[in-house]
Chains A and B, each alone.
Chain A
Amino acid sequence: MPDTAVAEAPAKAASGGNILQVRNLEAWYGESHILHGINFDVNAGEVVTLLGRNGAGKTTTLKSIMGIIGRRTGSVKFNNQEIIRATSDKIARMGIAFCPEERGIFASLDVRENLLLPPVVREGGLPLEQIFDLFPNLKERLNSQGTKLSGGEQQMLAIARILRTGASFLMLDEPTEGLAPVIIQQIGHTIARLKKEGFTILLVEQNFRFASTVADRYYVVEHGKIIDGFSNAELAANMDKLHTYLGV
């Protein structure tokens, strides 16, 4: 299997400036050692996807970057600033936004309150009109309780609310999980549009067919390590390997 140095190679070929640099990232849940030295980079304006089986450490990687995991070591640099010791609220205020796998819609808040909950951390966030243009369903459901929305609408709300904040780096954890194909397609269009708007996106996905429609590059995570990495152009050539990695 390729080592992490190989996995980093495609990043250097990408055009945008380096926005996120992860080196030797290790993380623990209590006594369980989950990440064993993750290394990768994300360049500005890219969509980078972390692929891997269940339990490989993809979500933990995102949570570690976001500062949600209690014990983590190594180095995470965002815009050349070290954030490994920063608390999650400070990391968010630096311009990183996280959309969790379970969507995190608040039952005690209506759709409007859910949408307006994350504070604006910097200029450049999408105005509400543009968000409703991306997700017209939300405009019609503004007064509904957040958790009364369908799964697809909840996912849209979860993405929509972080677009307001001005964060330029979005981390989306399995945004297509459990959704109907037509909604998955809509999420795909949204991600493509966000990329055009200049957002940098780090995506966690098990559905690499979906990921292939939006991603510029891929990293494969296994047992808490990055074991491979390639660009979208190299995807076809790596298909067999990918099937083996993902067990599909």
Chain B
Amino acid sequence: MQALYAQLLVGLINGSFYALLSLGLAVIFGMLNIINFAHGALYMMGAFVAYFLLNLGGINYWWALLLAPIIVGIFGMILERTMLQWLTGLDHLYGLLLTFGIALIVQGVFQNYFGSSGLPYAIPDQLKGGMNLGFMFLPIYRGWVVVFSLVVCLATWFLIEKTRLGAYLRAATENPTLVRAFGINVPRMITLTYGLGVGLAALAGVLSAPINQVRPLMGADLIIVVFAVVVIGGMGSIMGSIITGFALGVIEGLTKYFYPEASNTVVFVLMVLVLLVKPTGLTGRAA
């Protein structure tokens, strides 16, 4: 039974990363209509920025949680201003190819300098150790990742669904020309939204660093699953991405316990089933 709970915890942790990353992808797709294949590379950059901050600047994990998303978010905004903005109105394929190219370049540069093996990033002292819950042993850092990710996801959902700024974002997703004609600087809002989505990826990278180590290909390993999560949840759906992210992490964890051979494919089997039954995803709307 302990093994089942352990797998459930692993599932929840993976689900946290899936949720944070797919949430960023959903925000970017909803607003920019771009399938951001660079998301995995930006997640990796978040982890590396945390690593640099610690090893070059002596800046600890807690500051990295704040600074890495800002730094990578600014990098993302520069990408949007210099490259992605020119894709407005073009087929999705162009955005996918461009961001895929950016991902390859970023990963290639990091791989060139740091190789493929992982760099260690220590768990902060405050989150070391674990708790015996009676039915299982819970490493505190892993519990922190799940709770913090959930809080960030819900805060992002609240921002987009329940605030005036979120109303601007949702409206601009539907009709950016009209929203701009109301006096709102839509291009600037798009840039900031891309920065927000990228910042979420970088945040996931920082959270992941002490668990998975810091590796140039850490994002490439994850991004395909995250895209499957986004497709299952519904492209552009905020709550769909959060729920699906956590749910698929748990399903993956349970599969590891009950039928380990299928644990790497269960997400894709589910994706195929959802696409067959509801092509817009579980919570997506028809275009």
Chain A contact residues, CB within 8 Å of chain B? 66-68, 87-89, 91-93, 97-98, 100, 104, 106-109, 113, 116-119, 121, 162, 165
Contact A93 B167 (CB under 8 A): no
Task: Enumerate 14 A-B pairs (CB-CB under 8 Å) in ascending A order.
Answer: A68-B177, A68-B181, A89-B180, A89-B183, A89-B185, A93-B183, A98-B181, A108-B174, A109-B170, A117-B168, A118-B183, A119-B182, A121-B183, A165-B182
Contact A106 B171 (CB under 8 A): yes
Write out, one digit per residue, whether chain B residues 90-107 have a CB within 8 A of any chain A CB (1) or not (0).
000000000000000000
A36 to B76, CA, bound (A): 42
Contact B182 A92 (CB under 8 A): yes
B184 at the interface (CB under 8 A from A): yes
Contacts of A109 in B (CB 8 A): 167, 170-171
Contact B183 A92 (CB under 8 A): yes
Contact of A88 (CB < 8 Å), options: B168, B170, B173, B181? B181
Contacts of A87 in B (CB 8 A): 180
Contacts of A116 in B (CB 8 A): 164, 167
B178 at the interface (CB under 8 A from A): yes
Write out, one digit per residue, whether chain B residues 147-182 have a CB within 8 A of any chain A CB (1) or not (0).
000000000000000001001101101110111111
Q: A88-B177, A92-B182, A93-B183 are in contact. List 4 more A-B contacts (CB 8 A).
A: A67-B181, A68-B177, A117-B182, A165-B182
Write out, one digit per residue, whether chain B residues 135-150 have a CB within 8 A of any chain A CB (1) or not (0).
0000000000000000
A104 to B174, CA, bound (A): 9
Contacts of B171 in A (CB 8 A): 106, 108-109, 117
Nearest CB in chain B: distance from A55 CB, A: 20
B186 at the interface (CB under 8 A from A): yes
Closest residue of A by beta carbon distance from B189:
A89
A104 to B168, CA, bound (A): 14
Contacts of B183 in A (CB 8 A): 89, 92-93, 118-119, 121, 165
Contacts of A91 in B (CB 8 A): 181
Nearest CB in chain A: distance from B29 CB, A: 14
Contacts of A108 in B (CB 8 A): 170-171, 173-174
Contact B181 A117 (CB under 8 A): no
On whether A88 and B180 interact (CB within 8 A), knowing A113-B167, A117-B168, the answer reads yes
Nearest CB in chain A: distance from B182 CB, A: 4
Contact B174 A107 (CB under 8 A): yes
Closest residue of A by beta carbon distance from B178:
A104
Contacts of A113 in B (CB 8 A): 167
Contact B175 A118 (CB under 8 A): no
A56 to B273, CA, bound (A): 50
A91 to B186, CA, bound (A): 14
A220 to B185, CA, bound (A): 34
On whether A118 and B182 interact (CB within 8 A), knowing A106-B175, A108-B174, the answer reads yes
Contact of B174 (CB < 8 Å), options: A97, A98, A106, A119? A106
A107 to B236, CA, bound (A): 15
A66 to B179, CA, bound (A): 12
Contacts of A117 in B (CB 8 A): 167-168, 171, 179, 182
Contact B167 A89 (CB under 8 A): no
Within 8 A of A (CB), among B218-261: none
Contact of B184 (CB < 8 Å), options: A68, A89, A97, A162? A89
Nearest CB in chain A: distance from B193 CB, A: 15
Within 8 A of A (CB), among B161-217: 164, 167-168, 170-171, 173-175, 177-186
